[in-house]
């Protein structure tokens, strides 16, 4: 019978224990690493584009719904506006006279001549600058000048009278300065 | 023992990568859902319109000398 070499056996047993102890851990760690790598690859290659497409389409649907609601409201507003417009069509001519599209100086100039004739004053000068600023020079007595100024003030055509100056010479001379309003299409 | 530590480091790195990736994905999905620019022409058409006409002012203008 061979003598029992317990030291070698113990050493071998310890090595065996160490291996047995380490191997399941190593295997589990390897599986874990592989699983994590697989998840990362799946997220990058499959999940990401799919989720982004779904989110994008969902966002599109939501936005289109909101746009549809707004457009419906706009259609209602436009049809209401159309009804009001057709009901007040005759009055719009008045609006066009008050605030014409473009300057329309000639009509305004002729109207000024008519007003001067009606008031009995002499229109000696009409000046226009920058298609907006005007200066009217009229001559007559005080009552005539006052009547002319009243008529100009109560005219339908919109204008801002900035200053009125009366100069006394042989006749009274009145200089009216202001701004002519007109509508510019944007 | 050293091998174990290396494994743990790799797992930790992968978990961190996964967390980063999931966060990045979440932000990208959120962006794709929320950010939708409306085309210019449509934005112009969507501007609200006030259908009311100021008839009081129109009447006042009508009363003025033509």
Which CATH number do you get for residue A171?
3.30.1360.100
**What is the domain range of residue B30?**
2-63
Residue of A112 and B23 predicted with greater confidence: B23
Does residue A81 share a domain with residue A7? Answer: yes
pLDDT, residue A3, reads 62
Count of residues for chain B? 66
Domain boundary among A28, A59, A87: A87
CB-CB contact of B65 with A156 (8 Å): yes
pLDDT, residue A40, reads 93
Q: Quote the longest CA-to-CA distance of chain B.
A: 105
Does residue A25 share a domain with residue A48? Answer: yes
Q: State how many domains chain B has.
A: 1
pLDDT in tens, B27-53: 999 999 998 887 877 888 888 888 888
Enter the ipTM.
0.74
pLDDT, residue A30, reads 79
The string of DSSP codes covering A151-180 is: HHHTBSS-EEEEEEEEEESSSEEEEEEEEE
For B32, which of A56, A81, A151 is closest by C-beta distance?
A56
Q: What are phi and psi of A132, to 5 degrees?
A: -145, -50
**What is the domain range of residue A38?**
1-87
- Residue A186 resides in a domain: no
Q: Across chain A, what does the average pLDDT equal?
A: 84
Q: How confident is the model at residue A4 (pLDDT cuts 50, 70, 90)?
A: low
- Over residues A22-36, mean pLDDT: 73
| Cα separation, A119 vs B45, whole angstroms | 50
pLDDT in tens, A40-89: 999 999 999 999 999 999 999 999 998 899 999 999 999 999 998 888 88
For B49, which of A56, A63, A74 is closest by C-beta distance?
A74
pLDDT, residue A123, reads 85
Q: State how many domains chain A has.
A: 2
pLDDT, residue A38, reads 94
Residue A25 has pLDDT above 60, yes or no: no
CB neighbourhood size of A141 (10 A): 12
Residue of A18 and A126 predicted with greater confidence: A126
Q: Tokens 């980063």 — which residue? A: B20
The answer for residues whose C-beta is within 8 angstroms of residue B26's C-beta and 6 or more apart is: none
Q: Is B53's CB within 8 Å of A70's CB? A: no
Does residue A119 share a domain with residue A50? Answer: no
Q: Tokens 């457009």 — which residue? A: A71
- Max mean pLDDT range (A114-118, A129-133, A160-164, B22-26): B22-26
Does residue A107 share a domain with residue A83? Answer: no
Residue of A131 and A11 predicted with greater confidence: A11
Contacts of B32 in chain A (CB under 8 A): 52, 55-56, 59
Name A180's bridge partners.
A159
> Min CA distance, A2 vs chain B (Å)?
37
Contacts of A25 in chain B (CB under 8 A): 4, 7
Domain boundary among A87, A116, A138: A87
Residue A114 has pLDDT above 80, yes or no: yes
pLDDT, residue A2, reads 56
- Residue A150 resides in a domain: yes
Residue of A7 and B64 predicted with greater confidence: B64
pLDDT, residue A72, reads 93
Contacts of B66 in chain A (CB under 8 A): 97, 156
Residue A162 has pLDDT above 80, yes or no: yes
Q: How confident is the model at residue A153 (pLDDT cuts 50, 70, 90)?
A: confident
Does residue A70 share a domain with residue A122? Answer: no
Q: Is A74's CB within 8 Å of B48's CB? A: yes
Q: Whole-prediction pTM value?
A: 0.56
């Amino acid at each position: 019978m061979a003598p029992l070499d317990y030291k070698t056996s113990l050493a071998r047993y310890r090595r065996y224990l160490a291996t047995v102890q380490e191997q399941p851990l190593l295997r589990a760690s390897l599986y874990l690493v592989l699983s994590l790598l697989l998840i990362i690859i799946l997220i990058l290659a499959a999940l990401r584009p799919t989720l982004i497409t779904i989110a994008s389409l969902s966002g599109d649907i939501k936005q289109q719904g909101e746009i549809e609601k707004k457009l419906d409201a706009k259609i209602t507003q436009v049809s209401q506006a159309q009804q009001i417009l057709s009901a007040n069509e005759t009055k719009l001519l008045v609006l066009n006279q008050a605030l014409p599209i473009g300057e329309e100086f000639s009509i305004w100039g002729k109207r000024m001549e008519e007003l001067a004739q009606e008031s009995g004053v002499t229109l000696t000068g009409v000046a226009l600058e920058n298609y907006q600023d005007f200066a009217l020079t009229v001559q007559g007595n005080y009552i005539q000048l006052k009547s002319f100024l009243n008529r100009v003030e109560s005219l339908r055509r919109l204008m801002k009278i900035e200053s009125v100056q009366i100069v006394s010479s042989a006749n009274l001379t009145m200089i009216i300065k202001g701004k002519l309003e007109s509508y510019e299409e944007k | 023992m050293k091998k174990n530590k290396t494994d743990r480091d790799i797992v930790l790195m992968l978990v961190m990568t996964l967390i980063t990736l999931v966060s990045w994905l979440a932000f990208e999905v959120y962006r794709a859902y929320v950010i939708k620019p409306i085309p210019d022409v449509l934005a112009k058409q969507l501007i609200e319109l006030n259908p009311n006409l100021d008839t009081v002012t129109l009447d006042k203008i009508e009363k003025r000398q033509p």
